[in-house]
Amino acid sequence: MSSTAAPSDPDVAWPSLATVVPVYNEEIGIKRSCQAIVAVAKRYPGRAIVIAVDDGSLDTSAAILSDLQQQLDLLQLCRHEVNAGYGAALRTGAQQASALGFEYVAFMDSDLTNPPEDLMKIGELASRGHSYIKGSRFVDGGGMGSVPFRRQAFSEVGNAIGRTLFGTRLRDVTNGFRAMRTDLFLSWPLRERGFPVIVEELDWALQANVEPVEFPTILTAREGEQRPSSFPYRPRVVFSYLRYPLRAQMRRLHRAMRRST
Ligand SMILES: Nc1nc2c(ncn2[C@@H]2O[C@H](COP(=O)(O)OP(=O)(O)OP(=O)(O)O)[C@@H](O)[C@H]2O)c(=O)[nH]1
Ligand SMILES: [Mg+2]
């Protein structure tokens, strides 16, 4: 699809979209990031809002967000007093989106490593009725801009394993930039509090035969002055990610065995 998606019929509004932005210790870049995301939300041809969820940040992120909310009318805030994790923050944001009547919820990082303009690609796919919309680094037009080679290789290998075990045509199973119908997301009993919620959620979607659709997106790296990445490259985290595609594979094997007996 084109990178400058536009509404096919200017009189028909796209589905309403709340963009949830999880924030943890992002005082360096959060202002610029929220301004850029809100600027796209303002141009979105439908009802749009940005919900920043400060997850018990220990720096001045919460204060910066409060100031910013005075200036940006499309910015809403949620706050966890104590850090509860990326997955928990997404659920808080989605509940707020649902309470405000938003049909779709998009999840986007707060460090400007996802291009805000791509929210338009999401809106266009939502307007065509897709209910689960995933950003993809591994389709034409997608990629990893300035991401260090080691991390690129890690993502490529992880995705090759993930998509094989899940048995999906989806190219990018671990990308955190994504959107879905709000009611669908809230219907899944997600337990993961951290980043593995991305694959836990995909597992529920695939089990429910929700066909994901991908849009090309370019992931970039954090800028030097921002805090370092909080993604923990530890065996326990890798296993938390692998658990869901492994379960999906087991289910497929069981089904195949039942059919053959
Ligand atoms: N709510 C919440 N958000 C978090 C937490 N840790 C990280 N985040 C947010 O999740 C997003 C992704 O975290 P990053 O630290 O950028 O991890 P990453 O994207 O894997 O790594 P980079 O490539 O360095 O950007 C950012 O918006 C963070 O602010 C957390 O404990 N709670
Ligand atoms: Mg990031």
Q: Which atom in ligand 1 lies closest to the alpha carbon of residue 230?
A: 15
Backbone φ/ψ region at 98: left (φ over 0), alpha (ψ -120 to 50), beta: alpha
Type of residue at 173: V
Average pLDDT over residues 149-161: 92
Q: Is the pLDDT of residue 105 over 60?
A: yes
- The response to whether residue 111 sits with its C-beta less than 6 Å from ligand 1 reads yes
- The response to whether residue 55 sits with its C-beta less than 6 Å from ligand 1 reads yes
CA atoms within 13 A on the CB side of 170: 30
Q: What is the pLDDT of residue 9?
A: 52
The residue that leads in pLDDT, 150 or 56, is: 56
In whole numbers, what is the pLDDT of the chain averaged over residues? 92
Separation CA 8–CA 197 (nearest Å): 33
- The response to whether residue 5 sits with its C-beta less than 6 Å from ligand 1 reads no
Q: Which atom in ligand 1 lies closest to the alpha carbon of residue 21?
A: 27
- The response to whether residue 233 sits with its C-beta less than 6 Å from ligand 1 reads no
- The response to whether residue 76 sits with its C-beta less than 6 Å from ligand 1 reads no
How many C-beta atoms lie closer than 10 Å to residue 156's C-beta? 13
Q: Which ligand is nearest to the CA of 227?
A: 1
Q: Is the pLDDT of residue 6 over 60?
A: no
Going from the Cα of 16 to the center of ligand 1, the distance in angstroms, rounded, reads 25
- The response to whether residue 54 sits with its C-beta less than 6 Å from ligand 1 reads no
Instruction: Ligand 1 pocket test: pick from 82, 86, 241 the residue with the most ligand atoms within 8 Å of its Cβ.
Output: 86
Instruction: Ligand 1 pocket test: pick from 23, 24, 92, 114 the residue with the most ligand atoms within 8 Å of its Cβ.
Output: 24
Domains of the chain from N-terminus onward: 17-260 (3.90.550.10)
Lowest-confidence pick of 45-54, 130-139, 199-208, 233-242? 233-242
- The response to whether residue 241 sits with its C-beta less than 6 Å from ligand 1 reads no
Q: Is the pLDDT of residue 222 over 90?
A: no
Q: Got the DSSP string for 165-184?
A: HHT-S-S-SS-S-EEEEHHH
Separation CA 190–CA 254 (nearest Å): 23
- Express as a percent the part of the chain with pLDDT over 70: 95
Q: Which atom in ligand 1 lies closest to the alpha carbon of residue 110?
A: 27
Chain-centre distance for alpha carbon 248: 21
